[in-house]
């Protein structure tokens, strides 16, 4: 079956530091890949997505590239802010057919950014 593995957390950084959160996946076919963010006390929000190999998703200074050869979708940001403190989830969605895009999530990575 499908699976998503994220780097162990929590991650603690100083403001303006570089961020990488690793994500690798196992799936059959050609899944879509997502990063969701969950701010304290809130639900999940889509941060960025990529639907095919070599696509780069980007939003709010975050980027991730769909690497089929390494089955990875690592999240990066060049300069984090305190407001980026949240839980980040990597997820994949089945390509379609009868599965209707069920999401498989990684375990989440807690990011804390200090001033």
Partner 1 sequence: NAGVTQTPKFQVLKTGQSMTLQCAQDMNHEYMSWYRQDPGMGLRLIHYSVGAGITDQGEVPNGYNVSRSTTEDFPLRLLSAAPSQTSVYFCASRGTSGRVEQFFGPGTRLTVL
Secondary structure letter of residue 29 according to DSSP: S
The contact mask relative to partner 1 for 59-88 (x = CB under 8 A, - = no) is ------------------------------
SS (H, E, C) 56-81: EEEECCEEEECECCCCECCEEECCCC
**Candidate residues 22, 58, 76, 105; the one interacting with partner 1 per rule CB under 8 A:** 105
Q: In the Cβ-directed half-sphere of 86, how many Cα atoms lie within 13 Å?
A: 19
Residues 13-52 that bind partner 1 (CB under 8 A): 32, 34, 36, 42-46, 49, 51
The label of the residue with tokens 């590239």 reads 65
CB of 64 to partner 1, least distance (A): 14
Asked if 91 contacts 81 with a C-beta cutoff of 8 angstroms, the reply is no
Q: Count residues near partner 1 (CB under 8 A).
A: 22
Residues that bind partner 1 (CB under 8 A): 4, 32, 34, 36, 42-46, 49, 51, 89, 93, 100-108
């Amino acid at each position: 079956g499908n699976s998503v593995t994220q780097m162990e957390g929590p991650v603690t950084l100083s403001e303006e530091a570089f961020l990488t959160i690793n994500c690798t996946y196992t799936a059959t076919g050609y899944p879509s890949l997502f990063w969701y963010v969950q701010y304290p006390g809130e639900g999940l929000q889509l941060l960025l997505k990529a639907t095919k190999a070599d696509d780069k998703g980007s939003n709010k200074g975050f980027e991730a590239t769909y690497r089929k050869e390494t089955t990875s979708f690592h999240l990066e940001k060049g300069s984090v802010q305190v407001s980026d403190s949240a839980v980040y989830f990597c997820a994949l969605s089945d390509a379609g057919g009868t599965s209707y895009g069920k999401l498989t999530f990684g375990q989440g990575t807690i990011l804390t950014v200090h001033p």
